[in-house]
Chains A and B, each alone.
Chain A
């Protein structure tokens, strides 16, 4: 079966961000960018499905600027067969990404679409659920285990109280949680080979999707900085401070 994987280019998770002086947005100039960690897990899961003989072809897709092709090349190096770049310099909200992915799904007809559960820039946690709604498919979000069977996929989900397993009719949408797998690193020969793998570019106009959002970002602020406190020298001092200064225990 064919598997589609959605990957997003985001700020590297180790980078501490700064807000622009005019409060219009976060400042991304000269900031290290990378594949969203949850998308790395999505790619890894697709590759494992292929290694198990379950998946036959993996198509990686991204929506974003030209530079996002780097993340597609990474996906290709990790084992994706083809890539699709939906090119735009606009900021694209989750609903519009889901609509673009829906168009790609209509053409590619995958049996499974794997996305990250959350992009670590917007922290939205929406796109997979929205794509599932638009395709009319079932959704297995926050997956820590994916087990493809004949015509169905069993997805174990990380929920607040523990774990829940659901069975979804294929085709279906899965979003990855951190414990689904441990992504591998791309090897140098594979990085070289990835340069020759097919990467096609489309625009939102070609896909017939209006990406304008009804949600406007008015302002971005830095949250109130928490000031470090003091170091205490002993357990006795700690207990005393908590009782008599902070008054949070009695």
Chain B
């Protein structure tokens, strides 16, 4: 049986996560791996998707109903396409998390969230309790609906040349409509894909002070993240939150600045290769997971660090 992956994309770009989901699909194995690109004016995305190694077909549903990735039409589309597939996968993005459980319920099967390891075609590992335990679960459902933690799988390369086919399935959606979107514009790499992430917490004091991270991020090509406390305090927008209920990151280097290290924050970054913590409280729990801890005032340390990099 083959595997269908719902591709993640925005603004005409295939998101980096999809290459990791294909890697997970390859580990599941079985038959062909097809990618579904659903949206409006997504020919360019389909061409990017066709380059992913291991993909047999890119199926393209190009229709106004799929613009903005609303869950109701996307789930209906997937229901219509799911026959003949043994697995439907998506990344654990907000789109994947929104759409796949809806598909699963429409098919009367379970959804398995955020898998980080493939044990066999029906058995997967996933984090529970903010990643403080890892459950191995086995599904006896005829269709497995899975979201994939992209940081847990290495991206596959892009030398492929899959065929691109249009799927002509129109669904009508009277349940929901798009009103508007405020997307944060950033020149920096995506948080989930960056090689280096530097995050600020409540210790940053205010939003203006986040500028202290900019110069360092520029030098390291880093993405900038934040703790929930920093987001809640209004220092920075919500899409920067790292943690159990925010984004999961696993960069080569994670620098936590003015972050205490609550379990909910650790859940989002403790799989980073190297962790640096900068905090004035030497008892802060973040130091228990940091490879290199520097105790001191961030307002002195950050300018010096920027200069010495």
**A residues with CB within 8 A of B:** 11, 13, 16-17, 19, 26, 93-95, 98, 117-118, 120-127, 129-134, 136-142, 144, 154, 157-169, 172, 177-179, 213-223, 226, 228-232, 234-236, 238-239, 241-242, 246, 248-249
Contacts and interface: CB of A to CB of B under 8 A. Distances in A.
A133 B239 contact: no
Interface residues of B, number: 88
B83 interface: no
Contacts of B113: 123-126
B105 A161 contact: no
A8 to B, nearest CB: 14
A222 B232 contact: no
Contact of A123 (B70, B129, B275, B288): B129
Given A167-B179, A178-B232, A246 B136 contact: no
Contacts of A236: 308
Nearest to B94: A159
Interface in B224-283: 228, 231-232, 237-239, 244-245, 247, 252-253, 263-264, 270, 273-276, 282
The prevalent SS among residues of B at the interface is mixed
A107 B244 CA distance: 35
Contacts, number: 248
Contacts of B75: 133
- Can you list the 3 inter-chain pairs with the closest CB atoms, starting with the nearest? A229-B291, A138-B175, A133-B105
Contacts of B130: 120, 123
A159 B95 contact: yes
B159 interface: no
18 contacts: A95-B110, A123-B129, A136-B175, A139-B176, A161-B183, A164-B180, A218-B123, A223-B132, A226-B275, A228-B288, A229-B292, A232-B294, A236-B308, A238-B294, A246-B253, A248-B196, A248-B253, A248-B273
A223 B102 CA distance: 30
A163 B181 contact: yes
Given A16-B263, A126-B111, A166 B176 contact: yes
Given A160-B239, A215-B110, A215-B112, A167 B176 contact: yes
B239 A165 contact: no
Contact of A125 (B97, B105, B129, B132): B97
A129 B305 contact: no
A160 B94 contact: yes
Contacts of B174: 169
B212 interface: no
A133 B102 contact: yes
A89 to B, nearest CB: 19
Contact of A144 (B104, B238, B292): B238
A249 B216 CA distance: 12
A17 B108 CA distance: 32
A165 B287 contact: no
Nearest to B303: A235
B133 A126 contact: no
B209 interface: no
A215 B141 contact: yes
B287 A214 contact: no
A59 B130 CA distance: 29
B304 interface: yes
Contacts of B112: 215
Contact of A246 (B68, B291, B301, B305): B291
B289 interface: yes
B128 A122 contact: yes
A220 B133 CA distance: 6
Contact of A214 (B109, B182, B276, B305): B109
Contacts of A222: 132-134
Contacts of A144: 238
Interface string B174-190: 11111111111000000
Contacts of B274: 242, 246, 248
Nearest to A99: B105
Contact of A166 (B178, B289, B291, B292): B178
A223 B238 contact: no
Contacts of B127: 123, 223
B93 A215 contact: no
Given A16-B263, A226-B289, 11 more contacts: A26-B129, A95-B108, A123-B129, A142-B94, A160-B94, A162-B181, A162-B183, A163-B181, A163-B182, A167-B179, A223-B127
Nearest to B306: A235
A214 B291 CA distance: 41
A215 B253 contact: no
